[in-house]
Each structure stands twice: as C-alpha cells, then as structure tokens.
Structure 1
Amino acid sequence: MTTDPMGRRNGPSQQVVRQAINWVLRLRNHAAHPSLRQQCEVWRAVHPEHELAWQRVQSLHSELTSNLRAVPGAHIALETLDNSARRLDRRQALKLLSGVALVGCAAWLGKDLGGQPWTADFATATGERRGFQLPDGTRLELNTHSAADLDYTSQQRLITLARGEIMVTCGRDPARPLLVRSRQGLFEGQEGRFIVRQDSDCTRLSVSSGRVVIRSHTGSDGAPIQVNAGQHYLVSASTATVAPPLDMDAGAWADGLIVTRNMRLEDFLNEVGRYRRGYLTCAASIADLRLSGVFRLEDTDRLLAVLPRTLGVQIRYRTRWWVTVERPA
C-alpha cells in the first residue's frame, strides 16, 4: 500500500490498481471462460492490497457508470463504448473504458499508463523489488522491472515470466507440479528455491536449494534435465547448457544486494543499470577492471560513489540520467 508523509496507509499502489482494472476487463470480455474467474480469485487472495484494489475498482466503476446512465442519452454512448471495447485488445480497452466509466479518478489510478506492465498479475517498476506469498504457500520474489502471470488449475500451478527475474520458493506437490515458463524453457520446481532470469536471448536458471527439472529440453539420454542445488544453466530455444561459474551471487538481489566476485567493471555497471533509469556505462579502457564486494541497491548513486575509492576511477554525471565511469582526469 502507498503511505502519506505521516506514514499512514492510504490505499493500494498504482500498479496493483492497474492490475485490478485488467482483471475487470478480462472478466467482462471473457465471462464464459471457466478458469478465468478462479485465477482472478487466486490473485485477489495473494495479498490484502489486491482485494482492496479489486473492491475499489469494482465500486468506482459501478458508481460512475450509474451516474453516467442518469444523463439523458448517456446509456447509448456507454453501450456503444462497451461493445466497442469488447472488440479491442486489453490495452485499447483500458484506455476506452477508463476514460468513460473511470473518469475523474486519474489521480488515484496514476497519471501515466504507458510503459507500466498493467497486464501482468505481478509486476515491478525499475528499481523496485517485491515479494508475494501465493495461496499454495509458494513464495514469489520479483526483481527490478519484472512481470509474471499466474495460472493455477486443479492439474498444475504455472507461473509465466514475461520479463525480468523471479525467485521461487516452493514445496513439492505431486498432484499439482509447480511450473515456471520463460520464452526459452519450462522448469518444474521440486521443493526448494530457484531463480529464473529472462535475458534477451536466453533464460538463466540458478538453483539455490532443492532441485529443478528442465522440462522443455532433454539431456544426452533423452530424459529431462535435472538441475541440483548450486548449479546454473543457460537455456536457449534449442539447448540447455551448464553455465560457467558466476561472478555474482544470483539471488542476493532478494536481500537488496549485489555480491560480486572478481567481476568486470562493465558487467557490474550493466547489472547496476537494471536498477536505475537512464544510461550507465564506462570507458572501454577500464571495462576489464575487476571488483569484489557487497553493494547495496537501495541507492544506486551512493553505490556508484564507492567506485572511486575502490578502483581509482571517477564518476561523471552528464545529467542525472546519463552517467559514465572514466579514468581520473
């Protein structure tokens, strides 16, 4: 929930409100879908903030629609807009219906819908990290600028990673396996903790405890690949290979940290850049400098300020959003 300057709770976050609007639209457009309402109920049960946003959006939508129907001729416009919205995709429908039935609440819903992953069941903005306790006891952590969808049925529990990175802590349930799908792979968690990261051309799987089975690929014996605690895999559309030793702790971000081990400066800055907006890079002449340590993510400017003391470099701010690391002048 968001808070006022005195620290008091004043309602659900803008992101959760957008997700509630998405669920309202999905249910309106696909009311006959047998499992959609069940999935919505799972989303509502995950966190009290979800239920509060759902109730407020439902209440506000009904109130404003009723008020508008009291205006002569408005019912024809509303019916036309509603019928048109059913033929549009969800992003267009959101703009159309929120402009009519949710008019007057722009400040409450947020000023800018563009760029926010409003269609995802769970999402984070750049620099944000959030955790969710799912109804089955699974713990889901989202890293910066990440989005995931939940699809639970009586046969399976499926989490689809749309972008970014998630950490999943789960128990074993033979009757309903826990699956995580990325663009390149399908992974079954078998009691433990694992991390799935969606990069541009591959998926990275890191298992902290327990084991994970890569269901979408097979080993040399034709069987699904089992990944044990401490192992890391790179999964492309056609192959799954053991990843080289990592130069950072794959799951430290869940504690708000970057923990590096002899990591290249350029790679380190690319990682830090995931948690801030704008352009962050270094001069090619110092890209291969190495650093090890524990760095806190809550303030990336303060994090960068450590580099001159550890590597003897200088930080140059062309603007707040354009930062380069260079050799001292």
Structure 2
Amino acid sequence: MTAAQPGAKTVKQAILWMLRLREHGYEPSLQHQCAQWRNARPEHEQAWQRVIQMHQDLDLRAIPGAGVALQTLETSQRRLHRRQALKLLGGVGIVGAAAWLGKDLEALNAWTADYATGTGERRSFTLPDGSLMQLNTRSAVDLAFNDQQRLIHLKQGELMITCSQAPNLQQPLLVQTREALLEGFTGRFVARQDSDCTRVSVSHGRVAIHRPGTGQLQWIESGQDWRLDAQGSQQLEHVDMDAMAWSEGLIVTRDMRLFDFLAQVSRYRHGYLGCSDEIADLRLSGVFRLEDPEQLLQLLPQTLPVRLRQRTRWWVRVERLT
C-alpha cells in the first residue's frame, strides 16, 4: 500500500517543527512532541524527511526563493510568535518552499527518483535491458527491473523509449503513468504526463494501453497520437506539435495557438511566461531551438504582431503590438 503524499499544510507543519527545533532543540519535551507528530501519520514523517533533505542535502538554487524563504522563517521565528510565523508561511516569500513542496511534490519527485532532469535539461540513459530512455525537461522516473518485469514509472514529465531489440527479452517493457499502463515490445514511443492526462505518441512499432478497472486493451499504432484521461482514451486527429522533436532539441509547431506554444516553452525556463487574452489564439508554425528559450522568445516579434514585455528575467509577457 502506497503511503499518502503530504499536502501543503503538512509540509508547512514540518517546516515549523524544523524551525522550532533549531531554536529550542535542547528541550527534551519539544523533541518528544516533534517525535509524536512525526509518528502520528506516515505523511508527517514523509514531509519531515523531505523538508530536512531539501534544507541540508540538496542544491536550493534549483528552487526559486526556497533558501531565502527558509532563512526568513528561521529569523522570523525568533522574533514573532507562532501565529505570526504561520501567516508568514502563507505569504509570497514561502511560495518557493512550502507551496512549491506541497503542490504535487514535483521537485521532490525529481529528488527521490531513480532518473530525473531539471528545468531545461534533457538526458539519455541506457536501461538494464539495453533500451534507450530519453527524459525531457522536468521529468522523473523510477525503475523496477527484475526477472519478472521491466517497469518504468513516469512520475512526472516526459520520456521517449526506444525498446531494446535483444532476442532474449521475454517480458514487455511497461511504462506506468497516472492514467494507464503502456506496454511495448519493440519500437519507439513518447509518453508525457500532463496535469489532467497522459499523451502517447508512437513513431515505430506499436504500444498497448491497459486502463485500470476496464479490462480493455487498446493498441496505438505507428504514427498515432493519443490522449488518455479520466473519461477514456482518444486518438488525436490533429496534432499541433511534433511529439518527438524535443529529443533533438527542437519545438516543431503546426498551426499552434500562441498560448499553447508559450505553455510549452515555459517548461524549459524558470519564472512566469504568458500572453494577453487578445492574442492567445494567434497561430504559428515553424521550427524553434530549445537550447536558449530567451533567444527563442526574441523570434516571436519577427513572425507575429506582438511585443515582449519583460519586467525581470523571470517575468515575460507577450502582448499585442500597438
């Protein structure tokens, strides 16, 4: 049985316990109270371990504002009573730490995963069976390879699998996403875990879809793109972006909405990137290189009647050219 994932409230509690122990850790009663809280529920201990790991063992530069937020809380805890500190936890300064940790635990998934990539990073790995796995930006997977199975759990993000051609492999290569279990023997396919669905694209071979609780099996053939969500499985007739191009460091669009294009580019950079509603439906087609997202954005005014409004490096908004 999988332990419950800690939510934002639990993460905030873990941060407060950490700060209280830093301030008064010599008090046995406080240590005992903290131990009771950690033992009360599995998600308490999980949140505690991850907060400690975040603060002590990991590079906080990957979390915008996290280091500053924790230092601010630590200082404030010495000056303010507990109610004021809780208010501070809800403020903008802690978005990089508590809210960042509590919302889907995306970065924590990367920290605890067998293989992971950061923002803007793409990496390739050779799996124990000889298959090639490529991870796109902000992706994390766990592996369960043994004599009985070859299983990849896509925790977040996007992967491309080129299945091994070794003749002695009897078990299918499985990719578990939130919506389905994907099964492939040969060929190449991409799986992307979005917030509300799984997207699957097959370039060679074919992939079987197992939906939990349905007992049904569907096949995705070469050249097909599918969307899997809570309502079912749907083949996509029109695809506005090449699902495989990211493995070559590219975004290739075909009559894509500007809003959707910016959403894709934002996966490869930190901070806010958006556009005004009046230009959200502008369309663009082309080939764009991902190696420098900021330079990529500079190309937009050359192809569309728009301008870039930039407050900081982390805040960019595309607006209509006036």
The residue number in structure 2 matching 1:212 is 207
Residue matched to 1:287: 280
Is residue 128–residue 145 contact of structure 2 (8 Å, CA) maintained in 1? no
Equivalent residues of 2:132, 2:164 under 8 A apart: no
Corresponding position of 2:175: 180
Q: Give the distance between the partners of 2:231 and 2:307, measured in 1 at CA.
A: 43
Change (3 A) 1:315 1:120: same
Query: Share of identical aligned residues, percent?
Result: 51
Q: Which amino acid in 2 is paired with 1:170?
A: C
Give the 3 Å change call, closer, same or farther, for CA 248–178 of structure 1 in structure 2: same
Note the C-alpha offset of 1:285: 1.2
- The partner residue of 1:321 within 296, 314, 317 is 314
Is 2:157 the partner of 1:201? no
Q: Spell out, residue by residue over 1:201-236, the C-alpha distance to the aligned partner (whole angstroms, 9 max, x if none).
A: 1100100111101122699xx751111110111112
Q: Which residue number corresponds to residue 3 of structure 1?
A: none
TM-score (norm 2): 0.67
User: Would you say the 8 A contact 1:308–1:314 is kept in 2?
Assistant: yes
Q: 1:323 to 1:216 in 2, by over 3 A?
A: same
- 1:258 is paired with a residue of what secondary structure? strand
Separation of aligned partners in 2, 1:129 and 1:242: 27
Ranges in structure 2 where 5+ consecutive residues have no aligned partner? 1-34, 64-106
Q: What is the match of residue 30 of structure 2? A: none
- Provide the residue aligned with 1:224 in structure 2: 217
- Alignment equivalent of 1:92, drawn from 28, 48, 57: 48
> Could you tell me which residue of structure 2 aligns to residue 146 of structure 1?
139
Letter in 2 for 1:298: E
Match for 2:59: what amino acid? G
Task: Tell me which amino acid in the other structure corresponds to 1:204.
Answer: R
Give the total of aligned pairs: 238
Evaluate the alpha carbon distance shift between residue 263 and residue 238 of structure 1 in structure 2; reply closer, same or farther with a 3 A threshold.
closer
Superposition deviation, residue 196 in structure 1:
0.5
Map 1:21-40; keep pairs closer than 5 Å: none
Change (3 A) 1:153 1:91: farther
- 1:283 CA drift (Å): 1.4
Q: Return the match for 2:112 from 104, 116, 119.
A: 119
In 2, distance between residues paired with 1:179 and 1:189?
6
Cα distance in 1, alignment partners of residues 177 and 53 from structure 2: 31
Equivalent of 1:239 in 226, 232, 241: 232
Asked whether 1:137 is paired with 2:86, we answer no
1:265–1:290 CA contact under 8 A, matched in 2 = yes
Q: CA deviation at 1:313?
A: 1.2
Q: Deviations over 1:140-190 (max 9, x none)?
A: 111111110000121110000000111111035662211000000000012
Alpha-carbon RMSD across the aligned residues, in angstroms, is 2.8
- Inter-CA distance 135–273: structure 2 relative to 1 (3 Å threshold): same
CA contact (8 A) 1:283 1:324 kept: yes
- The equivalences for 1:33-48 within 5 A come to none
Question: Is contact 1:185–1:237 with CA below 8 Å preserved after alignment?
Answer: no
Report the residue type matching 1:292 in the other structure.
S
Deviations 1:109-160 (A, max 9, x none): 6346864521100111111111111121111111111110000121110000
